[in-house]
Amino acid sequence: MAPVKVKKICCIGAGYVGGPTCAVIALKCPQIQVTIVDLNQARIDAWNSPDFDLPIYEPGLVDVVKASRGRNLFFSTDVDKAIQEAELIFVSVNTPTKKTGVGAGFGADLHYVESATRRIAAVAQNSKIVVEKSTVPCRTAESMRTILEANCKPGCRFDILSNPEFLAEGTAIQDLFSPDRVLIGSLQTQEGKDACGALASVYANWVPNGRILTVGLWSSELSKLAANAMLAQRISSINALSAICEATGANIDEVSHAVGYDSRVGSKFLRASVGFGGSCFQKDILNLVYLSESLHLPEVAAYWRQVVELNEYQKSRFSKTVVDTLFNTITGKHITVLGFAFKADTGDTRESPAISLIRDFLAERAYVTIYDPKVDAEQIWQDLAEANPNLPLELIKKQVTLAPSALEACKNKEAVVIATEWKEFKEIDWQVVYDNMTKPAFVFDGRLILDAEKLRKIGFRVKVIGRGSQ
């Protein structure tokens, strides 16, 4: 296949990865037509909404879409037309952890990847470059290539590339504007290298050549899992130390600050919290566990499994701290949870620690009031129903209330739990909160964002993750 000059790009999947990534490509490459397609009509309607009420909250995303939509950026449910017209196709569909069958609870569900691949093979009339953008197990590209080659039309050729995303929700647009690296994996054949060069030329419109890394196909696929696993490992490591700090009276902020000064370690991802969440970390580590077991490497599998187990321990340990501090029972007590998204500056709730905390509080028969500035009510009820399968939603709604503001959420409550590090929670008028709470009033900071001494002077009893009792 001769080197391709990319003029039209199709992205299958309008979610957290495909939407922002291809919107930025459209912004930075005005000469390329970018069409993002999805079978979910409501999602596409939201991307096309006149008031830019997008289906994803990400700082800066609205400005990117405003600058390009209708010029060279389009959102559509016409998947076939977009496939036919594009020279390069991103496959950016969901790859959740399997819930049933072989590998349930660990392996990735590749149903959507396979469906998209089969659709490309059925529709394409000429040769295409197909790019894995979803996070997938190592050697998924081989399966995709087998499907494409077995079903392609005469004269069609498909080259498969791996181009994993390394975006952090909340800073995704900045990550796309100025990435640490763009990783492109290809077969080390001439055709594979030519396809790699075609995709690299797209990114070269704004990414310095030194940050565009080209590697083998399998190395690229594994690098994504490895990067997320090692970042999650750092979080679980500092969270494990936070438990020791609480038991000894040490301060996890001081410990992480001192450790982070070591140039061999660095300061990033050394902030203790109630636990990590999101769509990637747990899923990718479990995928790595499953891969290790499939390769008959049980010790390696056990090592990575412990990262996830420690994260679950951190969440349950924090909820137990709330119960123990509130005189060993929260039955019938009213608790506010501030934050439902898994982190600040996103509306994503996947694997959010808040869900686990609230599940534990409901099991103790507490009443919970929730406030989050970006997560809508429908998403909260859906997540709580999934987390409490033995509890009918109508019963959950008898124990859980959704509040329109942080101040309203805290009125007449015994305790406030910080579950997400939204900036506005730092700026609440905590004197007003205290005046309107049941006494004694407790605050549990699971994100290390509050001035504990200031709160104690107001009158609060404060528990901060990773800090021993005063």
- Hey, which bits of 165-244 come out as E strands? 182-186, 212-216
Q: How far is Cα 415 from Cα 453, in angstroms, rounded to an integer?
A: 17
Would you call 99 exposed, middle or buried from its count of C-beta atoms within 10 A (0-12, 13-18, 19+)? exposed
Q: How far is Cα 191 from Cα 34, in angstroms, rounded to an integer?
A: 24
Q: Which amino acid is at 76?
A: S
Bridge partners of residue 58, in order along the sequence? none
Structure tokens at 30: 């005005």
- Residue pair 168/175 in contact by the 8 Å Cβ criterion: yes
| Secondary structure letter of residue 115 according to DSSP | H
Specify the pairing of strand 182-186 against strand 158-162: antiparallel
- Measured at the CA of 227, the angle between CA 221 and CA 229, to 5 degrees, comes to 105
Instruction: Say whether 264 sits in a helix, a strand or coil.
Output: coil
- Residue pair 396/385 in contact by the 8 Å Cβ criterion: yes
Q: How far is Cα 238 from Cα 466, in angstroms, rounded to an integer?
A: 9
Instruction: List the catalytic residues.
Output: 280
Other beta carbons within 10 Å of 265: 12
Instruction: Say whether 288 sits in a helix, a strand or coil.
Output: helix
- Measured at the CA of 395, the angle between CA 378 and CA 348, to 5 degrees, comes to 25
Question: What is the edge-to-edge ordering of all strands in the sheet holding 415-418?
Answer: 400-402, 367-371, 334-338, 415-418, 442-445, 461-464
User: For residues 43-53, b (16+ Cβ closer than 10 Å) or e, as one string?
Assistant: bbebbeeeeee
Question: What is the edge-to-edge ordering of all strands in the sheet holding 88-91?
Answer: 73-76, 33-37, 8-12, 88-91, 128-132, 158-162, 182-186, 212-216
- Residue pair 6/87 in contact by the 8 Å Cβ criterion: yes
Q: How far is Cα 9 from Cα 131, in angstroms, rounded to an integer?
A: 11
Instruction: Say whether 212 sits in a helix, a strand or coil.
Output: strand
Q: How far is Cα 180 from Cα 400, in angstroms, rounded to an integer?
A: 42
